[in-house]
Structure 1
Amino acid sequence: MRATRRPGAYNCGLDAALDVIGGKWKVVVVWALAERPRRFGELRRAVGGVTEKVLAAHLRELEEDGIVRREDFGEVPPRVEYSLTPVGRSLNAALAPLGVWGDEHVRGVAPH
């Protein structure tokens, strides 16, 4: 979780979870990484519509929160891959029922 919030500062577990996945693209990034580790450009194409700046910021935050692992292979040209940590995989599993709910109710939910 972000350094600005202490574990005792959350009202409930859902508050803590939303702090981690808050933002337009974080859940989609976690979902895309569930399939396999991805390089930055591949992840950006998989997410679609996210800017490089926002994706980089979200990946940094997800890494700080222990959801995403960044592996730098130390090669030239640079090669970096992102993957889910065990905590990230458990978050993805927790999001799966929400995805099912969205699939079942997508027609009844008005976009904002």
Structure 2
Amino acid sequence: MGIELELHSGRPVRKGSSRDTLLRGSYGHGEALSRVLSTLDRHGSGKLGWVDPYGDTLFNEQEAQVARQEVTTLIQGCTDDRQKAALLDLVELLEACAATPGSFLWFMGD
């Protein structure tokens, strides 16, 4: 099980070609990212708890800004190097999404 990430300039098309809006992807930390996000409360107030490890989740630029703050806390408490690398990659994509009007960060679960 893993979660891949893609940053898109607009809402990605799930059926058809999403490559038209693709700005950047992260495909190397799927399992580690899934493990660390699975520890979060799905019913809590945080945005990252919304990420579905088995389906797709989209964050717009406002949600990315809020989630970015959550990742900072997760990084500080992380002792696993692979999970920390996954979180550092995630934070870069969240920052890019928050700074790009109309963009979306697509979490693609297994």
TM-score (norm. length: structure 2): 0.31
Structure with bigger RCO (C-alpha 8 Å, 6+ apart): 2
Greater strand content:
2
Name the larger-Rg structure.
Answer: 1
Greater helix content:
1
